[in-house]
Structures are given as C-alpha cells and as structure tokens.
Chain A
Amino acid sequence: MLQADDMSPLDVTALRRDFPALHQEVNGKQLVYLDNAATSQKPRAVLDVLSSYYQQDNANVHRGIHELSRRATVAYEEAREKVARFIGAADPAEVVWTRGTTESINLVANTWGPASLQAGDEILLSVMEHHSNLVPWQILARRTGARLRFIELDDDGKLVLDDLPALVSDRTRLVAVSHVSNALGTINPVKEIIAAAKRVGALVLLDGAQGVVHTKLDVQDVGADFYAFSGHKMCGPTGIGVLWARRELLEAMPPWQGGGDMIEFVDRDMSTWAEVPHKFEAGTPNIAGAIGLGAAVDYLASVGMDAIAAHERELVRYAMERMDRIPGLRIYGPRDPAERSAVLSFTLGDAHPHDISTILDSEGIAVRAGHHCAQLVMKRFGLAATARASFYLYNTRAEADRLVEGLETVRSIFG
C-alpha cells in the first residue's frame, strides 16, 4: 500500500482506488504512471458511465422521437452543461464538442481565420507552442497571406513578455498561445497577454490542453475569446474535446464541416445553419465521449480543482528537490513550483531520453521521451529531445521516489 502523502490536501490512497489501470504490474514492478501530460488514466466513474450509456441508452441524438434517443440526447446535452459550469462559461451553447484540442484549434483556423484575415495581417504565437497550436496557423497564413510572429522564450522557459508591446500592433488579428506549456510546464501569465492583445483589438485563443487539467478555470474571468482543450488529459475518454468561444463570436463564424445536425433548412442550392453550438457539430457526434467527459468533470469537481492543484504543486516541488540532487540531471522550465504545472522535462548527462525511457520502463515507470510535439521549444534549448515525467492527482511521493531510483539506474548504466 502506498503511503498517504502528508503534505497533500488529497486522500491519494483512497483516490487511487478509483483508477483501475493504476493497479497493475509492468515488467514485474508496480506501475508508476507519469505520462499524464500525454493522457490521464480514467476513473471508474467515467468507465461506468461509458458502459451504461452503451448498454442502456445508446441511440442517436437530436433526431429520434423514441425513448432511447431522448435519453441519449438528454445525457449528451447535460454533459455540455456540466462542462460549461466546470469552465465558468456563461452559456452551454458556448461549448462546442470537438475531437480534442487539435480539432478545436483547427476549427477556429478554418472558420474564423479565412473569414477574418487578409494578406499582411498578423497572428502572434509563441515559441512554446505545441504543434497543434502552430501548424494550423502556418496553413492559414499560407492560405491568406497573413504573417506569423512569435513571442520568444527565456532560459527559464518563460515567455519574454517585455517584447509584447513591439510584437502587437494594429495588424495583429489573433494571439494564440498555450495556457500551460506541455513541454516545459510553464504556466503563462495569460491575463497580461490578453490585456496586450485587447489594446490593439486582437482576439485571443488559449490552447488549454494542459491548462484546464490542472487549474480551476473560469473562462469569463480569464478573458480569452477562444479556449481549446481535450477530455482525455482530464480523466475523460479520448476523441472528445471542447472549443469554448464567446457566443457572439461563434454566431458570426461560418460553419466548417457540412452535414447532418448542423443545418436548419436544406434546399437544393443553399441551406441555413443550425444555432450554435450545433452549427459546428456536423454528423453523429461522439455521444459516449461527451457523456464520459461530463462524468470526468463531475469527478474532478468532487475532488476539488484547488486541492488537485495544491497536491500537484507539492508533488512537483518534492520531485524537483530530489531530482536536483542527481548529478548531471537538468530540469527545464521555471524553477518556482508556483510558476509551473506538474510537468518535469529533463535530461540526464549524455543518456538519450529514449534510453532513459526504456530503462525506466523496465522498472515499471512510464514517462514520455521525445520532442513532445514542441520542436520549437527543443530548438530553443538546443535539444533533440527531453524525457518528461508528468504528475496528476493520483500520483504520490512514493512514486516520485521510484522515479528517482529509476534515474539512478540510468546513471549506473550510462555512468
């Protein structure tokens, strides 16, 4: 049995019982799952709701008059309301279901983008961005003649905001940055960035894939125009995510994909669009996924987002302290646990991150190795790859200790 962590506000021992996948041996050792920034494990509350939906309520939504369709529609739209409440949205209609963060950003790049941009307009990104908040804008820029500009990173992995006044101008139409970096863990001062964008009348999109996961989010308080995130990193199923946007923006945006459910009336040459959010939800959606995400946010809310954030901060502080004592180990990103999420990107001597990951895997420890879909970050630090340990609500100090022991094994092999 793992010990409860003294400094944590969570009863982690009890919490861990909610996650069946954590209780297994990998390579003869108790699994230590530290790849949460890639995807989180799922609590029984989510697994059960997926199973009961398919076993009892499975039907298509918004179409049938029959009982199962009614139940499916109610559960699907209730999930939207749950997510809206969870992120502080003013209206459930501002929650558009997508496949995940990537699709959410592509939706904006494909609808708002061509309708709003002209040659010479500028989109401001940062060097920190995940490819999902970079490549869609590269494609859009090529299509419209818009120009991409970038906020640089300092040596601590923080955005160089001193450059902001010079980077935004009346040509800036959109600022698209991550809320929290997936590669470095940096929590960005998004309010400051939003204020700078608003001064020049630009819209702001936040890539929240690592943001909503770890912090209590109130989209109205944050003040962005678009907020994109995935369900699977926050205890929900894969294949479901959200684009939140202010209602008037969604109403002004043209649709993206055409098909069933996104129309109002259809004629031979022209159709009219359904109300938001359905205008952006063509085809049979991921009904079970949406319901599963609804259960996931219920679960997270019941644990308490503030408590989860405090638990992670304490855990990351502890892990950093122990890892810092390993000779040759370098952690990237901010030093202050208050400025970072529970993502620890590191290198260890001349052991390549893939070798680190293979050795840790043989000890039952799952970490990610590679460029983390953030090649601009790797280039900034002159790296090909890093190893990344990312913690979540169910991780413990004992697991951080196991990581440190595993890293000692890496040292003994590469020593």
Chain B
Amino acid sequence: METPPLTSLYQQLILEHYRNPRNKSELPDKTVEIHMRNPTCGDEIRLQLRVEDGRIADARFVGQGCSISQAAVSMMTQLIRGRSLDEADGVAERFKAMMHGDPDVAKDKGMGDLRALAGVSRFPVRVKCALLGFDALQEALKKTAEGGGH
C-alpha cells in the first residue's frame, strides 16, 4: 500500500502540541486516574480527571511517547474540559470515527485541534498511537460512572 504524503501526518499543529503539550502536569485533586500503555511501542500516559457534578472540571495528563500519541492526548484534554461525561464520550466516539476515515468529523469545528490528526487514519499502524488518550478517557468515564472514581 502506498503511504500518503508525510505532510498529511505531521501537521505543524501536531508538532506544536508535541513540543508544548497542554495540561501536562499532575492533577492534585483528581477524582479518577487511568494509566494506559501501548506495550508494543512503549507509549504511555496517565490521564487524570476531576469530575464534579457530572462534568469534567479539569483534565490533565503525564506521559511519554511519539508525537501522535502525545499531541492527541494534549488536544483531547483541551476539548473535554467543562464537558459532561456524555459529551466527553461523544468526543471520543467522534474521534474514533475520524480514525476510521470518517471525513465529516475531520470538518467538524467542534473537534477543535483534534482535526489536525485526521491524516493519521491514512497510516493504519499509527492509529493506535492516536487512540491511546481516548482509550484512557473512555476507561475513566466508565470508572466514574461505576462510582469508582472517588
């Protein structure tokens, strides 16, 4: 299979988030934390949320890995702050659809900076990098819904 041009993968915005990640710090008053690793490549993040009254009051992460995994989780934390749990889950589902090549999500302004990652869908071996943070998010939402987040 022919690899698409690299410019569709390494957008400036991705490298910018990789170099200057948003919300990358420990969250002292977190209500839930999920440690997610990709054992095949060593990417890892700890996603920390503070959920108050059914909303994500704060979202932060610490981690290491490739530009795609780290930029994706940085962008994700920007977008989910202030969202309800259902809305955050919706973002994760929309992002997954984009990784499966859904062109509509890539045009959806509601996805914020995450749209820059649309090109990852054309690099199948890198999709799991982009999904790492969203897998952690959905785990965190599940854990919170089960009442384990306190």
Contacts and interface: CB of A to CB of B under 8 A. Distances in A.
B126 A354 contact: yes
B66 interface: yes
A149 interface: no
Interface string B9-40: 11000010011000000000000000000001
A413 B10 contact: yes
Nearest to B39: A371
B6 A352 contact: no
Contacts of B43: 354, 384
A28 interface: yes
A51 interface: no
Contacts of B15: 413-414
B3 A370 contact: no
Interface string B126-139: 10010000000000
B65 A384 contact: yes
Interface string A339-378: 0000000000011111100110110000001110000001
Contact of A350 (B3, B9, B19, B44): B19
A370 B40 contact: yes
B104 interface: no
Given A359-B6, A361-B3, A362-B3, A354 B41 contact: yes
B67 interface: yes
A116 interface: no
Interface string A15-36: 0000000000001100000000
Given A354-B41, A369-B41, A370-B40, A362 B6 contact: yes
Given A352-B67, A354-B66, A413-B10, A27 B41 contact: no
Contacts of A370: 40-42
A27 B2 contact: yes
B107 to A, nearest CB: 25
A384 B9 contact: no
A229 to B, nearest CB: 24
A12 to B, nearest CB: 27
Q: How large, as a class, is the contact surface on chain B?
A: 20 to 34
A354 B2 contact: no
Contacts of B65: 352, 354, 384
Contacts of B42: 370-371, 378, 384-385
Contacts of A371: 42
A408 to B, nearest CB: 13
A116 B15 CA distance: 55
Most central of A28, A361, A384, A414 by chain B CB within 10 Å:
A384
A355 B2 contact: no
B66 A27 contact: no
Interface in A366-415: 369-371, 378, 384-385, 409, 413-414
A370 B38 CA distance: 11
A27 B3 contact: yes
Contacts of A351: 67
A71 B3 CA distance: 46
Contacts of A27: 2-3
A355 B41 contact: no
B84 to A, nearest CB: 33
A196 to B, nearest CB: 33
A369 B67 CA distance: 14
A358 B40 contact: no
Nearest to A385: B42
Contacts of A352: 65-67
A29 to B, nearest CB: 10
B85 interface: no
B123 A358 contact: yes
Nearest to A362: B3
Nearest to B129: A354
Nearest to A352: B66
Contacts of B129: 354
Contacts of A362: 3, 5-6
7 contacts: A354-B65, A358-B126, A361-B3, A362-B6, A370-B42, A413-B10, A414-B67
Interface of A: 27-28, 350-355, 358-359, 361-362, 369-371, 378, 384-385, 409, 413-414
10 nearest A-B residue pairs (beta carbon): A352-B66, A354-B66, A27-B3, A384-B42, A362-B3, A413-B10, A385-B42, A355-B67, A362-B6, A355-B66
Given A354-B43, A384-B42, 19 more contacts: A27-B3, A352-B66, A352-B67, A354-B65, A354-B66, A354-B126, A355-B66, A358-B6, A358-B125, A359-B6, A359-B10, A362-B3, A362-B6, A370-B40, A370-B42, A384-B44, A413-B6, A413-B10, A413-B15
